[in-house]
Amino acid sequence: MRTAVTNDDFTITELQLKAKKDSKIHRKVYHAYFTAWPDRAIPDTPDSMIRFLREVDKWSEQADVKGPKLIHCSAGIGRTGTFITIDINIKRYISEQTVDIYQTVEELRKHRISMIQGHQQYLYCFTVLKALIERL
């Protein structure tokens, strides 16, 4: 295990996993832990989330990660849904110059009910996306 990045808001750790039966089979996994997000609430500003999103994207690109990101919080719906909604929409904005938070949440809820818990997290998506778009 190697801690690659650590600060007040998040930690990114590189893990090396090896198969029990054959140690020649191994895989690197990057674990990104966003510590600045209180359970059942939102961060005070969009800044820490923006730094976290950028760092996760940077590590994904540098590591040449194949496959999807695995996103999870304690219940797997509130913070998870908020992060995924922001991530999908900023990528959509970069490629199509449009965002659709409502449609994204509706689509996510087809796969997992209650993605994004309450109006605070929903509004936080708008806050972070607005700040991100203004910085592009």
- Helix/strand/coil for 31: strand
pLDDT band at 124 (very low <50, low <70, confident <90, very high): very high
Residues 71 and 84 sit within 8 Å (Cβ to Cβ): yes
First to last CA, the chain: 34
Of 99, 72, 102, residue with least CA distance to 84: 72
Residue 46 near residue 131, CB atoms below 8 Å? yes
Q: State yes or no: is 73 an active-site residue.
A: yes
Q: Are 58 and 32 in contact (CB under 8 A)?
A: no
Lookup: tokens for 22 = 């054959």
Rounded to whole angstroms, the Cα distance separating 60 from 54 reads: 10
Q: Which domains does the chain have, with CATH numbers?
A: 40-135 (3.90.190.10)
What are the tens digits of pLDDT across the range 25-36? Answer: 988 888 999 999
Per-residue pLDDT, 132: 97
CB atoms within 10 A of CB 68: 6
Give pLDDT, residue 5. 86
Q: Give the Cα separation of 87 and 57 in Å (integer).
A: 10
> pLDDT digits over 66-99, tens only?
777 889 998 899 999 999 999 999 999 999 999 9
pLDDT at residue 41, rounded to an integer: 78
Q: How many CB atoms lie within 10 A of CB 13?
A: 15
The alpha helices in 41-100, defined as continuous H runs, are 47-62, 78-96
Share of the chain above pLDDT 90, in %: 66
Structure letter (DSSP) for residue 120: H
Read off the pLDDT of each residue in 107-134 and give the average, rounded to a whole number. 96
Q: Which of 73, 101, 131, 133 is catalytic?
A: 73
